Structure formats: C-alpha cells, structure tokens
Amino acid sequence: MKIEKEMKEKVGFSINGFIAAPVVGALLYLFIRQIPDAEGGKILMLLLTALSGSMSAGFFMVQPKQARVLTLFGSYVGTVKATGLRWTIPFFGRRNISLRIRNFESGQLKVNDNHGNPIEIATVVVWAVDDTAQAVFEVDDYESYVSIQSEAALRNMATTYPYDIYEDGDIALRSHTQVISDALTKEVQNRLENAGMKVIEARISHLAYAPEIANAMLQRQQATAIIAAREKIVQGAVGMVDLALEQLAEKGIVELDEERKAAMVSNLLVVLCSDQNTQPIVNAGSLY
C-alpha cells in the first residue's frame, strides 16, 4: 500500500552570512549608541549583549552536497542547500543532512528463485537523499530504512526470476544482468520513494546456488554444456561429410554405391565426432 506523502521539501529562509555579519554588527552598534547614561543603561546593555549572542547563533556553514533542515518549535520551516556561510533566524533548529551519493551492500541472502531452487544473492544499491523533508520526517532512521527495504526488494525480485535459463525466452538472474539490474532498481526505488530517496543504480553483487544443491546444479550445467558442444560437433561433421561426398561425385574421383557411401559416412563421423584420436586402417587391397 502506497503511503501518501505528507511532507514536501521547500526552501528555508537564509541569507548570505558575509552580508548578514556587517548588517547585524551595524544594527547592534546603533543600538549601543542610543543607550542612555542612566541606571537603566546597564540593563539595556545586558539585553543587547544577549541579543548579540542570539543573533550570532544564527550563523551556520553549509558544505558542498550538504543541506540543513530548519525547524521552529517542532514545525518544519524549510531546507537550506545554498553552500557557504549562511545566516537564518536564531530560533530555528538546524539538522545537517548529507546529499552525497552513498553505497549500500547487503549481506548474502538465502532465497528461492521462481523454480524453488535455493540460491544465495546479494546486491549493491547506489542511492542519495532527494527530498530532505521526507528523509527526516517520514521515517525514523532513513539509513536503516534504505538497508531494510533494499533487502526486502532483493528478496521479492529474486523469487520472480529463475537462476538460469530453462526454456527459450526466459529472463534469468545469471544471464540477463542488465534487465535484472533495471528491475531491481525500479523495485528498490518504489520502496524508498516515500522516504525521499533516489536510487541511482542497483546491481547484484553475488549470485550462487545454495551449498546443498550446488554440486547437483554444477553437474547439470556441465551436462548442458557437453550436449551443446556435441550438437555443434555433429552439425560440423555432417556438413564436412556432405561436402566430401559432393566433391567426390563432382570431380569423378571415385564412384560409390549406397553401401560404400554409408560405410564412408560412418567412418568419417567416427573420426570427426570421436573424443580421442582414431587410428586409421589402410586398405591395401581393392575397394570392392
């Protein structure tokens, strides 16, 4: 269920600190000049001193790729992203939020793919804070939220696809890396959107069968590879035999009846498809 966004980022009030510093100093100077030389002057001096201290508390620094979330008595009043020395109303609370790109690498999770095979999988998620108001006020701890939701998205995505291709047209975790990466990025982004996060990329960093079925699946992969190699060898051998018979007939080197052709085809296929080098037998007599 999608949570309705209640908080949106907005620009908070602040001015350039290098402009605010002389202005604040000039105002305080003018106030001090107006202090009367009476008994109330000392009290006024104390008040102006307190005012000067509170005005100075309004200065703060914003580093590159950082932001300050401003609050006033528990209410959100805006976000300052302008870098450098800034000044704002001293009563505003200020929380620093990093806008820099971060990496999160999950641990190795044990899940079942959509064929029920147990696999081990892990991911690396590249993310950054996009909406500071949502990151601060929609969740308790946005960094922990990123890690938990990324692992949940990885589990859900892993159960949607098979580990390997079993039928033509399948999209598999092992073979379609870019498709899987795009699907995982979208899945994580949907989960983190309500917390004001932007997912830049999400990729699988580890993928393997679970130890209890790893040996069986390795034998299956080896058998599949052997069958595929044999198919290529047989296709090549049949083509070579067909070419040999065609050229013999075309050049009239020798005329073979059907029985001799069958014997020749059999011998050539044995030579071309054998795992080991065959030992030829030279026929020193008549062909017939």
Give the tens place of pLDDT for each residue, 214-269: 566 666 666 666 666 677 777 777 777 777 777 777 776 666 667 766 777 776 66
End-to-end Cα distance, the chain: 84
Alpha-carbon gap, residue 154 to 273, rounded angstroms: 45
Better-predicted residue by pLDDT, 73 or 215: 73
For residue 116, what pLDDT band results from cuts at 50, 70 and 90? confident
What's the confidence (pLDDT) of residue 247? 75
Global pTM reads: 0.67
Instruction: Output the average pLDDT for the chain.
Output: 80
For residue 18, what pLDDT band results from cuts at 50, 70 and 90? confident
Q: According to CATH, what is the number of the domain 102-209? A: 3.30.479.30
Question: Per-residue pLDDT averaged across 3-13, rounded?
Answer: 76
Alpha-carbon distances of 89 from 57, 78, 136, 183, 184, rounded to whole Å: 9, 12, 20, 45, 43
Q: What is the pLDDT of residues 122-165, one digit of tens each?
A: 999 999 999 999 999 999 999 999 999 999 999 999 899 988 87
Contact residues for 281 (Cβ-Cβ < 8 A; gap 6+): none
For residue 1, what pLDDT band results from cuts at 50, 70 and 90? very low
Q: Can you say whether residue 221 is alpha, beta or left, with left for phi > 0 and alpha for psi between -120 and 50 degrees? A: alpha
Residue 193 has pLDDT above 70, yes or no: yes
Residue ranges per domain, the chain? 15-97, 102-209, 214-273
3-state secondary structure the chain: CCCCCCCCCCECCCEEHHHHHHHHHHHHHHHHHCCCCCCHHHHHHHHHHHHHHHHHCCEEEECCCEEEEEEECCEEEEEECCCEEEECCCCCEEEEEECCCEEEECCCEEEECCCCCEEEEEEEEEEEECCHHHHHHCCCCHHHHHHHHHHHHHHHHHCCCCCCCCCCCCCCCCCCHHHHHHHHHHHHHHHHHHHCEEEEEEEEEEEEECHHHHHHHHHHHHHHHHHHHHHHHHHHHHHHHHHHHHHHHHHCCCCCCHHHHHHHHHHHHHHHHCCCCCCCCCCCCCCC
